[in-house]
Structure 1
Amino acid sequence: MNSASLAKMEGSSSVEGNQKLPKRKKMINDEDTMSKLPEPLISRILSFLPTKDAVRTSVLSKKWLFRWTFITRLDLDDTEFYSLKKKTGGKMSFLNFVYRALLLTKTSTFESFSILLANKYDTSLLNTWIPNILTRSRNLRVETHSKMSFSALASHYLFDSKLLEEVVLKMDSCAIRVPKIFARFDSLKLLKFSGILFTLHPSSKVLTLSFPLLKVFETVNCRWLNGNRLHLVVPILERVVIVEDAVSMSNETSVLAIYFSRFSLKHFSYCGLANISYYFRLLDSSSAHNASVNVVVKQCPINRVAETENRALVLLNEFRQMRCLTFEGCELLAQSKVAKLPSFKMLSHLKLGLVSGEVLLGLLHKSPILKTLHFKGVSTFDTQVLNSVAVPDCLTSTLQVVKFDKLHGCEHELCLAKYFMENVLVLERISFYLVSLWLGKSKIMEEFKEKLFSFKKGFSFAIIEFSYDV
């Protein structure tokens, strides 16, 4: 190798060294810039990192060794400690990390604390962590896929919390014994429970929970056992969602009624499998003025129809000042019972599942200012009923939009369509959604359309459209 080549190589090495040097200086300068920030601001920035990453900053320098301990948010997820390559050690690493986070963090109150457990752990460990978490967190989220029971101490801290503003407990099957007959949550604004079996205090069959600031109340597959009534005092509550779709819960005994008092509800939703589990009562029906109500009942067995129908009618009666109603499970309702319902004087939007002609007509008579009607099919009914009673007021004065789903082109469907065409005087749009694309090209539908367009029309102008369900 000649001297010229050697000089060239040495020059190249020198250039590379000079290129690396600015990068190293830049990293040092960046760290120095970050270190000059006020400590509260550094803690704030670290709090927005995943907790595991915030802890990793401790290796940057001696100055950073304990800065992570001042973070105001903890986000603990055990899936971050397990990997396909590393078959063992994940559980112990996570447990050590949790204990380290709980013991070393110097923040007296966390803005938020989240713990996700995808793997199984000793229940005693969870009951050790939970009281510590409950006394230090404003916003709490616990999600676990293991069955467990809250200890007496954990239950006490949960029902005695004055600090919590938001709480989300998403459990697989968690038993919690309520330690008192009255509890007040002064700061709670959002509550979401899933998979929890609450057992009421044996000294009373009534549990009263007061939430002065609560706006959202949601439960999924929860039960309130050993009592007759759950009373919720919720003066500014806006949203209620109750879902009970677990097969194992359909035969559980629970409280008979849930009472709501002093609230200003905007949305109420109940979805149940096999039945409606509770009587829902409003101590002041005007508190649900202009509310949107959504009720879905799936697969109700014959032996529970009467009970479920009764609870559905009570619910509709309580929400008689609602603005919007979605009801899937109308086949549970009898025409004679619908006739006894009060008038829904504020109802402007009605959406139904499969419904009989008699019940549909009964609900229309109870909805004098209805503007939009949407139903997912109509079962076979005695079409003579359409001519045997007076035309509902909403058809002649307010109804503007009709949506007819699951159309098969049957004779009883044609009779109902004819009834709307002739009697809806201010109609703007009527839509027919066929059960299949094939039906739209069939002779049955050609005859249906031909007859439909031949009917006398009570409206001056409206859009009539056909499409198929997707």
Structure 2
Amino acid sequence: MEKSTKRIKIQLPDSILSQIFSKLGLKDLVKTSAFSKLWRHEWQLRTHLNFDHHDMFDNNKVKGLPRPFALLQGFQSEFVTRLDQFMLHYQGDIIDSIRVKCPLCNKHSDVIGRLFSKGIAKGAKRIELLLSYQNSYCSDLKPFEFSFDILSETDTLTYLHLQSCYPKLPMEFSGLKNLRTLVLQLVPVRQNDLESLFSNCIYLVDFTLDACTFLTDLKIISPTLFRLNIINCPVIKNLRKKKIDIIASNLSSIEYSCNGSVHSMNIEAPMLSKFSFRGRKIYKPVGFSGLKNVTTIVVDGVREILQPTNMVSLLFSECPQLEDVTFMNCKEIDDTNITSPNLRHLKIIDCGSTQRIDINALNLASFEYRGHARRNISITAPMLSRVFWDAARRVNDPHPFGPIKSLQHIENLAIGINTSQVLVDGLIALMVVVGLNGILFMRSLKMKYLNNVSL
């Protein structure tokens, strides 16, 4: 075995061996040392270190997290012991990334500290600390406190993801000068911490707050930020929703989603072009004044009626640059008039309550409609060439294809229909479309059936 191993070593350069070993889980990686004395150190060529509790133990031992709480403590102790022993014998010169995924608590902070300190000393560019507790019994554990002192001396780190831990920033923090992506997940956030981070992260491009609890009002101020995600905001009873101010001169996209009442937001981002919003109300807490230059918007789950002006009409009147618009799961919105000279792509998906939709868009090129309830839809769009029309959910409508028969320049048409409509409504409607003015305007036609029926 040793001779064959030597031949492999001669034939394969270190870079190839490193790539091979990078595909192995930690338990399998260490087992390779039993094959040969030479391989005892070869596995240390690995530069991407992934300490996932699913990879640290045999599959028959780890199926979810162990119960009860006492067994979990033993599981954690064994995990950090193996991790610490691995790093104690690790002799590689370079570490590119470190990922730790296991529900650890604060008593394991020393082991994690030594791991990250060694990684940073060897030039780590990416660090992920994922400590999420998926079971309620883990709530008895003392939360992990992550000290940013560990990161104060690094200029190589470009990506940092912290999950389910309390960030502890020193009074005078001066690290993360080259950080470009920061993800905080299930983390309590305070304004003072954000100010310290943004003052140091002078090249930050991507920032995500995922399911984070906001302990104070927040001001996100950054001249370099390009993408911002504030997603999965939790519902917290008897606690005032915090205000969010966003001041970012180069910000291009914002994604926001909330499971309860929406945060009040003030947006000052003149370069903002893409805005994705999921929540019950958008106009009152957010408004459209900060979205003047937005060209792409997704509105999901809004249930907002504004009298006497419709929310959708306000959006198009106050955001004249809109080109790509999607409405999803929007309920309790009055009859809608969509008028826009710049609109090119429009999707209306599963939106209820509205009975009439009037679309007047001179440059509209594609339109997608899916919905449960019957609609009276009028379309004035001379440039419209691509249509997807889901008629299968409209079985009680005697005219399930709505305004399609009046569209005269369709090049690509996809229709979702119920099998009962194929021989009657479907074929009649298609004959009407094909026979418009005696000219065949369609270049391709796709009939998409539910229930796996196809032509």
TM-score normalised by length of structure 2: 0.71
Q: Distance in 2 between matches of 1:256 and 1:206?
A: 19
User: Which residue of the partner structure matches residue 467 of structure 1?
Assistant: 416
State yes or no: 1:149 paired with 2:143. Answer: yes
Secondary structure of 1:57's match? helix
**Equivalent pair of 2:278/2:302 in contact (CA under 8 Å):** no
Shift in alpha-carbon separation, 1:448–1:46, aligned structure 2, 3 A: closer
1:185-217 Cα distance to aligned partner (Å, 9 max, x none): 322222222111134449x98974453433332
User: Which residue of the partner structure matches residue 16 of structure 1?
Assistant: none
Q: Distance in 2 between matches of 1:401 and 1:255?
A: 39
- The correspondence for 1:332, drawn from 280, 290, 304, is 304
Shift in alpha-carbon separation, 1:260–1:200, aligned structure 2, 3 A: closer
Q: Distance in 2 between matches of 1:229 and 1:452?
A: 47
User: Which residue of the partner structure matches residue 442 of structure 2?
Assistant: none
- Counterparts of 1:113-128 in structure 2, within 5 Å, are 113-117=98-102, 120-128=103-111
- Counterparts of 1:165-176 in structure 2, within 5 Å, are 165-171=158-164, 174-176=165-167
Shift in alpha-carbon separation, 1:74–1:243, aligned structure 2, 3 A: same
Aligned-pair Cα RMSD in Å: 4.0
Q: Distance in 2 between matches of 1:70 and 1:428?
A: 56
User: Which residue of the partner structure matches residue 290 of structure 2?
Assistant: 318
Q: Distance in 2 between matches of 1:447 and 1:39?
A: 69
Shift of 1:397: 1.9
- The correspondence for 2:209, drawn from 212, 219, 225, is 219
Shift of 1:221: 0.3
User: Which residue of the partner structure matches residue 183 of structure 2?
Assistant: 192
- The correspondence for 1:77, drawn from 16, 32, 52, is 52
Shift in alpha-carbon separation, 1:155–1:432, aligned structure 2, 3 A: same
What letter is aligned with 2:116?
I
**Equivalent pair of 1:47/1:73 in contact (CA under 8 Å):** no
User: Which residue of the partner structure matches residue 281 of structure 1?
Assistant: 267
Q: Distance in 2 between matches of 1:254 and 1:453?
A: 45
Q: Percent identity?
A: 13
**Equivalent pair of 1:403/1:431 in contact (CA under 8 Å):** yes
User: Which residue of the partner structure matches residue 233 of structure 1?
Assistant: 222
**Equivalent pair of 1:123/1:148 in contact (CA under 8 Å):** yes
**Equivalent pair of 1:81/1:91 in contact (CA under 8 Å):** no
Q: Distance in 2 between matches of 1:160 and 1:258?
A: 30
Shift of 1:78: 2.3
- Counterparts of 1:16-415 in structure 2, within 5 Å, are 27-36=1-10, 41=15, 44-45=18-19, 48=22, 49-69=24-44, 71-79=46-54, 80-81=56-57, 84=60, 91-107=76-92, 109-117=94-102, 120-130=103-113, 132-133=115-116, 135-136=120-121, 137-146=124-133, 148-151=142-145, 154-158=147-151, 161-171=154-164, 174-180=165-171, 185-201=176-192, 208-226=198-216, 228-235=217-224, 237-247=225-235, 249=236, 252-253=239-240, 255-265=242-252, 267-282=253-268, 284-285=269-270, 287-288=271-272, 291-297=273-279, 300=280, 309-313=283-287, 316-332=288-304, 334=306, 336=309, 338=311, 343-353=318-328, 354=330, 358=334, 360-361=336-337, 364-365=338-339, 367-377=340-350, 379-380=352-353, 395=360, 397-409=362-374, 413-414=375-376
Shift of 1:292: 2.7
Shift of 1:181: 8.2
User: Which residue of the partner structure matches residue 433 of structure 1?
Assistant: 390
Q: Distance in 2 between matches of 1:213 and 1:206?
A: 14
**Equivalent pair of 1:182/1:209 in contact (CA under 8 Å):** no
What letter is aligned with 2:249?
R
**Equivalent pair of 1:155/1:177 in contact (CA under 8 Å):** yes
Gaps of 5+ in 1: 1-26
State yes or no: 1:445 paired with 2:397. Answer: yes
Q: Distance in 2 between matches of 1:330 and 1:165?
A: 36
1:269-298 Cα distance to aligned partner (Å, 9 max, x none): 21211122251523x41x22xx3321111x
Q: Distance in 2 between matches of 1:253 and 1:37?
A: 65
Q: Distance in 1 between matches of 2:180 and 2:189?
A: 20
Q: Distance in 2 between matches of 1:184 and 1:91?
A: 30
Larger C-alpha radius of gyration, 1 or 2? Answer: 1
What letter is aligned with 1:75?
N
Shift of 1:312: 2.8
Shift of 1:375: 1.4
**Equivalent pair of 1:206/1:231 in contact (CA under 8 Å):** no
Shift of 1:324: 1.4
1:288-324 Cα distance to aligned partner (Å, 9 max, x none): 2xx3321111xx4xxxx6xx642231xx332321221
Structure with the largest fraction of helix: 1
**Equivalent pair of 2:181/2:207 in contact (CA under 8 Å):** yes
Gaps of 5+ in 2: 134-140, 419-449, 451-455
Q: Distance in 1 between matches of 2:263 and 2:289?
A: 17
Secondary structure of 1:56's match? helix
Q: Distance in 2 between matches of 1:448 and 1:39?
A: 65
Q: Distance in 1 between matches of 2:96 and 2:196?
A: 33
User: Which residue of the partner structure matches residue 138 of structure 2?
Assistant: none
What letter is aligned with 2:284?
N
1:105-125 Cα distance to aligned partner (Å, 9 max, x none): 2346520111121xx545211
TM-score normalised by length of structure 1: 0.69
Shift in alpha-carbon separation, 1:333–1:209, aligned structure 2, 3 A: farther
Q: Distance in 2 between matches of 1:396 and 1:41?
A: 56
